[in-house]
Chain A
Amino acid sequence: MRVTLEGIGLSFEGGAGERVRALDDVSLELSGGVCGLMGQTGSGKTTLLEVIAGVTAPDAGRVLVDGEDASRGAGARALAGSVGLVFQIPERQFFEPTVAEEVTFGLLARGVAAEEARRRAAHALGVMGLSLDALGRRSPFALSGGQQRRVAIASVLATRPGLLLLDEPTAGLDPRARDACLEAVRAAAAEGATVVMASHDANALAAVADRLVCLEAGRVTLDGPARELLGDARLMRDHGLEPACAARAAAALRRAGVAVDGAPLTAVELARAVARGRGRS
């Protein structure tokens, strides 16, 4: 699914009566892959996701879905039918008495037959490393925090969104749940979804993102290959963002005179880059 943002602007009333610019002339073209969205708190990440999802209307600019204006008519229907938005702490939005009903809710609401809905729910839970047979009859409220997050994401994945938007999907998760969550993001992209993931976690983005967009005060200040941007510790810092831990270490090693080859993003890559650097010197 191809989504084009053209000159999106949005402002709202701040606490003391003044207008706050949440988004300022944002233009992006999203088509396949995982796009990471970084920016400090208040930079407009969540608002941008809501605009892309079509639940918040911008003051200026427009959103196109596969070339059609998404604010009305066929474009709006196309967007509404295939967008999935995972809000921050999505498990706070559970309302069904069982996990099975929670995950099939969106499907049944779209008119998918019960049998098919159950099959898709089982698949989506499987992608998140959970089993419908084991958890289906349990209350979603009685699960552990990590399981809840995965059920919440599965309930969005089950509708097979062509456009999957995630807001801080790994926040508050322990390492095991975090890895499962990132695995699901990868799986969704592999199945052809266009994914946008807003996150503060450079390490998580390093693991899944192909492209990285940074927002500062509602403006796009960086847009490029995730690997290149996340691996540049100084660039990230200059934009008020935290670099991936391995990139930070690589920068510190170079400052100390240790040769590091390339721009490593993970611990393993860092080790190989150091080993290569040693072989060279």
Chain B
Amino acid sequence: MGERIVEARDVRHAYVPGRPDLRGVSLDVAPGELVAIVGENGSGKTTLARHLNALIPLQAGELLVAGLDAADPDVLWELRRACGMVFQNPENQFVSSVVGEDVAFGPLNFGMSEKDARAAASAALGAVGLAGFERRDVHALSGGQQQRVALAGVLASGPRVIVLDEATSMIDPQGRDDLVRAVLRARAERGATVIWITHDMELAARADRVFVMRAGEVAAAGAPEDVLVDEGLLASAGLEPPMAARAWHELVRLGAASGPAPVTVEGLVSLLCA
């Protein structure tokens, strides 16, 4: 791997001394990569995510995001602009009940003029498929639309990295699919790096690389086809392989298939057709 947009070296953290929630996390992410971080509740996923945005002061280790040192208070805002975050609960991340005003909040904070911020907000709303929503009431939108407004609020500041912390876990399947589509589009059009924190294994199966978190450590990292098929490893992390891999394992047990397991439905189809 050449250039890196996220570099974590032995990051350690404890909210309560003696009870660490990150026990030395190291990971690298290349620019433009789509990375999934999976793990059960309490495995340290969210703590790690908040470090990426410098929302938690670095206690030990090194962390560089977009070349900016998370431990350096002088580059804090530059770092937050470079790395945007979408959170789990859509209701608790809005500062204004008017969509356009909320989306412009970030750009204004990062020093854009009113006019530029409004233009950036409109462009970002268009990018997430909500063009013309500027004057709508945030609370009258569905959960999925709210999450796309939140994504637009992040995109409007022109981030290089987008972190989504369990962003799909409280919205319906339609809303989740729309959000995923909007994120993939932002990645394709803007070359943004996407870090998806989730326990939805079907979603993780679509990433370029997966990091499995277990008790504050990275238990495994690699391509989904290598990591998400390991039943024992995933079980120890409180997870299970995606449906396609589980079906394949059963087929192998039944003697109806052999070879490495697929992780997506598309992969399963192409393997069974071959």
Contact = CB atoms under 8 A, between A and B. Distances in A.
Interface of A: 15, 40-42, 144-146, 171-177, 200, 203, 240-242, 245-246, 248-249, 252-253, 256-258, 267-268, 270-272, 274-275, 278
Contacts of B40: 146, 174-177
User: Can you list the 4 inter-chain pairs with the closest CB atoms, starting with the nearest?
Assistant: A271-B250, A267-B246, A242-B173, A174-B40
In this complex, which of B42, B247, B254 has the most chain A Cβ atoms within 10 angstroms of its Cβ?
B247
Given A40-B174, A144-B42, A175-B239, A249 B166 contact: no
27 contacts: A15-B140, A41-B142, A41-B144, A41-B174, A146-B41, A171-B170, A200-B173, A240-B174, A241-B173, A242-B174, A245-B265, A249-B243, A252-B266, A253-B269, A256-B270, A256-B272, A256-B273, A258-B272, A267-B247, A270-B243, A270-B250, A271-B248, A271-B254, A272-B250, A274-B247, A274-B272, A275-B256
Given A245-B265, A274-B272, A177 B250 contact: no
B220 interface: no
Interface in B27-43: 40-42
A174 B214 CA distance: 13
Interface of B: 40-42, 88, 137, 140, 142-144, 166, 169-175, 199, 201-202, 238-240, 243-244, 246-251, 253-254, 256, 265-266, 268-270, 272-273
B49 to A, nearest CB: 15
A271 B248 CA distance: 7
A246 B243 contact: yes
Contacts of B199: 174-175
A149 to B, nearest CB: 10
Q: Is chain A's interface secondary structure helix, strand, loop, or mixed overall?
A: helix
B140 A176 contact: no
Given A175-B201, A242-B174, 7 more contacts: A41-B144, A41-B172, A144-B41, A203-B243, A240-B174, A245-B265, A249-B268
A174 B248 CA distance: 23
Q: Is chain B's interface secondary structure helix, strand, loop, or mixed overall?
A: helix
A257 B273 contact: yes
A274 B238 contact: no
A258 B273 contact: yes
A267 B250 contact: yes
A245 B202 contact: yes
A272 B240 CA distance: 19
Contacts of B142: 41-42
B88 A172 contact: yes
B41 A249 contact: no
B251 A252 contact: no
Contacts of B269: 249, 252-253, 256, 258
A278 B40 CA distance: 37
Contact of A246 (B88, B247, B251): B247
Nearest to A241: B173
B273 A172 contact: no
Contacts of B265: 245, 248-249, 252
Contacts of B254: 271-272, 275
B247 A271 contact: yes
Contacts of A252: 265-266, 269
Nearest to A200: B172
A41 B143 CA distance: 8
Contacts of B249: 271
In this complex, which of B144, B238, B256 has the most chain A Cβ atoms within 10 angstroms of its Cβ?
B256
Contacts of A177: 40-41
A274 B256 contact: yes
A40 B175 CA distance: 10
B251 A271 contact: yes
Given A249-B243, A256-B269, A256-B273, A274 B169 contact: no
A268 B239 contact: no
A177 B169 CA distance: 14
A172 B168 CA distance: 9
Contacts of B42: 144-145
B93 to A, nearest CB: 16
Contacts of A146: 40-41
Given A144-B41, A271-B251, A175 B243 contact: no
Nearest to A173: B41
Nearest to A278: B256
Nearest to A258: B272
Nearest to A179: B240
B155 to A, nearest CB: 23
